Structure 1
Amino acid sequence: MAAVSSGLVVLTGATGFVGFKTLIFSLKAGYSVRIVVRSDSKGHGVLEASSIKAMNLGSERLSYFVVPDIIAPRAYDDAVKGATYVIHCASPIPSFGDAPPTAELYDKFFVQTARKATIGLLESIRRASTVKRVVITSSIAGNIPLKYFVGQGDDKVFDAESRTTLDPGPYDIEFQAYSASKVAALNASESWMEENNPSFDLISILPGWVFGRDELCTTAADLKTGSTNSVLLGLLKGSQSDDPLMGNTSFVDDVAQVHIGALDPKIEGNQAFILSSDGINGAKWEDAIKVVKQYFPQALVDGRLKSTGKQPTAVVRVDAGKTEKTFGIRLRSFEEQVKSLAGQYLELTGY
C-alpha cells in the first residue's frame, strides 16, 4: 500500500489488537508514527515485536510517547505536537480492584472514561493546530441499540449513518457498559466537532466483532484472553452458550486497512464507515465449526479444537456497502477470519 500523504501519524492503542495491526499498516504505507502508550515497558514491547524489528526502522519513523493517565487534564497535549494525523484506537481498560463491579464502577470505568479520553484528545489536537484529520475507532455497538445484539431487535437495516441514544444505565453487565461507552464516545465526539468547528475533520470507524491473527499474542494462552478473539476461540474450544450474540464480524486486516485508507485526503471528512462481513445478515457463529472441520480436521481428532461448541446468532442487519465502495475493498469473510485465528492458535500449540 502506498502512502497517500506524508506526515506524522500519532496513534493511540498500539498495544492492542486493532491498534497494533493499524500500526503495521501505517508503517508499510510509509508514514512516520508516534505511538502513545501508558508506560515505557509497553512502548518497548511494541518496538520489540518481530514484525516491527524486521522493518529495521529508525526513531524518525517510529517512536513512542508515554501518557500514563489518558483522562488527566491536557493528557495528550505533548503527545500530539507536530502531528499531521491522529488515529485513536485506545479503549478504556477497566480497573475494578478487589471490589466486584457495580453499576457505578461500570459507568466510571467504561462510559465516563471513554467520553473524557475522547474529548480530551480532541481538545489537545485543537491546541496542537497541525492536525488535518482524526480517525477514531468506534464500534457498531456505538450506533446500534443494544437490544439488537442480544436478539431482541427487528429486521431494520443499519449503516454508518445510523445513530442511537445513550443507555443511561444502571449497567448490570460488562457488555452493556461497553456498548454504552461506544455510544457515549461516538455521540460526544460528533457533537464536539459540530460545536467547535475545528480546523481538522473526523472519521469514525465502526467494526463489528474483530477476529484474526494477533501478533502480540505469543502463546496459546494469550489468545484466550484480552481481545475479541477469545470469544471465537472459546466456541472453537467447545464452549456452550444459550445467549445469542450478533453475527457481525470483521477481519482485523480490513479494519486496519480502512483506518489507514481514511487518511487519504480524497476521502471526505466528518463521516463514518461501518465494517460487517458476509452481507447484510452477517455471519452465523456456529459456521466456525464447519470451517474447522474443512480446514483443520486433525485438530478435531487430537482434541485441540472441538465440534461441540454452541453459540446462537442474533441477526443484526448491517449494510457495509459504503465502506467497500469508498475503499475499493471486499470485506473478508467470517470463514477467512476463523481460518486466520484457528491457524495461529494451532501454530502456537504445535500444529
Structure 2
Amino acid sequence: MSTSNTKLVLLTGGTGFIGFQTLLDALRAGFRVRCTVRSEAKGEALLSKPALQPFLQADNQAPSVEIVVVPDQAARKAFHEAIKGTSYVIHIASPLPSAVTQANGHLDAEANFLAPARRTAVEMLEAAATTTSVERVVMTSSVAAFVSPKIFMGLMRQDSQHPFTPTSRMPLMTPPFPHSGVAYVASKVESLAATEAWVKETKPRFSVINIHPSWVMGRAECAEDVGSLFNTTNRLVLNTIVKGQKSQYPVMMGAVVDVHDVARMQVQSLQKADIVQPGNCRSFIASTPGIYEDIPGIIRKSFAEQCQDGRVTILGQQASFPLPIDSSSTEITFGWKFKTLEEMINDLISQYIELQ
C-alpha cells in the first residue's frame, strides 16, 4: 500500500456516470482513491479514460488511483481486503434496471435487486467495522427510497404542502413487482433500511451518510463519444428530446440534479466532520425542481444556430409531474445551491455537439 500522507478513499461504481465524476472530484480534492471494479478489463478501461490521465502521470509519487478487483460485491467479506488502510468509503455501485436480464419475461426481484442491494450495503459496513482507519462511509441511495412507486407510475400525487424530506421513509416492499423500475425502487428502500438498522444496532466508531439524488443528468466526463453519452441517465433527454423516441417512462418526476452536484456532495461529505457524529447515520437529498416540458425551450434558446443547421433537433417530448422535494437542508449544510435545469441542459447539449 502507498505511504503517502494523503487519505485514501475506497470507491465503488467508479466506472459509472456518478462514480467517475466522484472519482475526479475526490482526486481534485487531494484524496487518493482505490476503485473497486468487477474485472481486470474494467479496471484497464477506467485507467485509460482521458480525463483521468493528469492524475496518473506524477513521477516518483505514490499512485493517486488504485484498482482492486471485487467480482461479486454482494459476496461474503467482499470488501474486507479492499478496505484495508482506507480512511473513507464512497459506495455508489448498485443494480440498475437496464443491467438486469429477465429470463422468459420473468423478473426475479429478490435475486436481481433486493438481495444484492441489501447484502452489498451490509458487507461494506461490516468491512469498515473490521478496520481501525475508516472514519466515514458515504452511501449513494436515491430519492426513490422516499417515494411510493405509485407516484412514479402516475397513480397518485404527493401533496405539495407535505414535500419529501431527508427523514421521509417508505415501508419495505414485497415482490412480485410489475417491472424492473419498481424493483429498483424497492432495492433502494431495502438498502437504506438495512443501512440504518445496522448502524442503530452496531453503533460503529465511524459515521454513515446517505446521499439521495433524484434523476441525474449533465455533462458526463466519463463519455468519450456520443454512444457512451447515451449510456448514462442523460439518455432520457437525448432519446426523447433529440432523437424523438418514445420514452419508456410515460410520466417522469419533475425533480433533477446535476451529476457534478452529486459528486461534490459525496466528496464534501468526507470533508465535513461535524455534520454527523460517529455511530450515527444521516441522509441528504440531492435534487432541484425541473420539468421536462421546459427542455425544448431551453434548447431552442441556447442552441438556436445548431437547431437551424440540424446539429440539434427537437423531435420528441417527455411529460412530467411535480414532485415536491425539500432539499433546503442540503443547501444549508453544504453552503451552495444546486445547478438549475437550464444549466444542466446547456452543459449536456454542449457536450453532445462537441462529441458529434
TM-score (norm 2): 0.90
* Mapped contact 1:148–1:314 kept (Cα < 8 A): no
SS in 2 for 1:305: coil
Matches within 5 A, 1:101-140: 101-104=105-108, 106-140=109-143
For 1:84 and 1:212, the matched residues in 2 are separated by: 29
Query: In the alignment, which residue of structure 2 is the partner of 1:142?
Result: 145
Query: In the alignment, which residue of structure 1 is the partner of 2:328?
Result: 321
Matches within 5 A, 1:1-351: 6-55=6-55, 56-57=57-58, 58-92=61-95, 96=100, 99-104=103-108, 106-151=109-154, 152-155=156-159, 156-225=162-231, 227-237=232-242, 238-241=244-247, 243-263=250-270, 264-269=272-277, 270-277=281-288, 282-349=289-356
For 1:149 and 1:345, the matched residues in 2 are separated by: 28
Question: Any gaps of 5 or more consecutive residues in structure 1?
Answer: none
Letter in 1 for 2:287: S
For 1:188 and 1:114, the matched residues in 2 are separated by: 9
For 1:248 and 1:240, the matched residues in 2 are separated by: 20
Change (3 A) 1:196 1:175: same
* Mapped contact 1:10–1:35 kept (Cα < 8 A): yes
* Mapped contact 2:107–2:180 kept (Cα < 8 A): no
For 1:324 and 1:116, the matched residues in 2 are separated by: 31
Q: CA deviation at 1:199?
A: 1.3
Letter in 2 for 1:273: F
Change (3 A) 1:11 1:101: farther
Letter in 2 for 1:26: A
* Mapped contact 1:102–1:172 kept (Cα < 8 A): no
* Mapped contact 2:96–2:184 kept (Cα < 8 A): no
* Mapped contact 2:21–2:222 kept (Cα < 8 A): no
Question: Any gaps of 5 or more consecutive residues in structure 2?
Answer: none
* Mapped contact 1:284–1:313 kept (Cα < 8 A): yes
Q: CA deviation at 1:97?
A: 5.0
Change (3 A) 1:93 1:79: farther
Q: CA deviation at 1:206?
A: 0.3
* Mapped contact 2:37–2:67 kept (Cα < 8 A): yes
Letter in 1 for 2:73: I
Which stretch has the larger CA shift, 234-243 or 75-84? 234-243
Which stretch has the larger CA shift, 72-81 or 303-312? 303-312
Cα displacement string for residues 274-306 of structure 1 (whole angstroms, at most 9, x for unaligned residues): 0111xxxx2110211111101112332344433
Cα displacement string for residues 196-250 of structure 1 (whole angstroms, at most 9, x for unaligned residues): 111111000001011011122211122223x211112112222345821101100
For 1:341 and 1:173, the matched residues in 2 are separated by: 29
Which stretch has the larger CA shift, 172-181 or 318-327? 172-181
Q: CA deviation at 1:85?
A: 0.5
For 2:151 and 2:100, the matched residues in 1 are separated by: 28
SS in 1 for 2:336: coil
Change (3 A) 1:98 1:149: closer
For 1:341 and 1:134, the matched residues in 2 are separated by: 30
* Mapped contact 2:216–2:257 kept (Cα < 8 A): yes
For 2:263 and 2:101, the matched residues in 1 are separated by: 32
Cα displacement string for residues 145-164 of structure 1 (whole angstroms, at most 9, x for unaligned residues): 22222332231311111111
Letter in 2 for 1:296: F
Report the RMSD for the aligned CA atoms in angstroms. 1.8
Q: CA deviation at 1:45?
A: 1.8
For 2:275 and 2:341, the matched residues in 1 are separated by: 27
* Mapped contact 2:147–2:170 kept (Cα < 8 A): yes
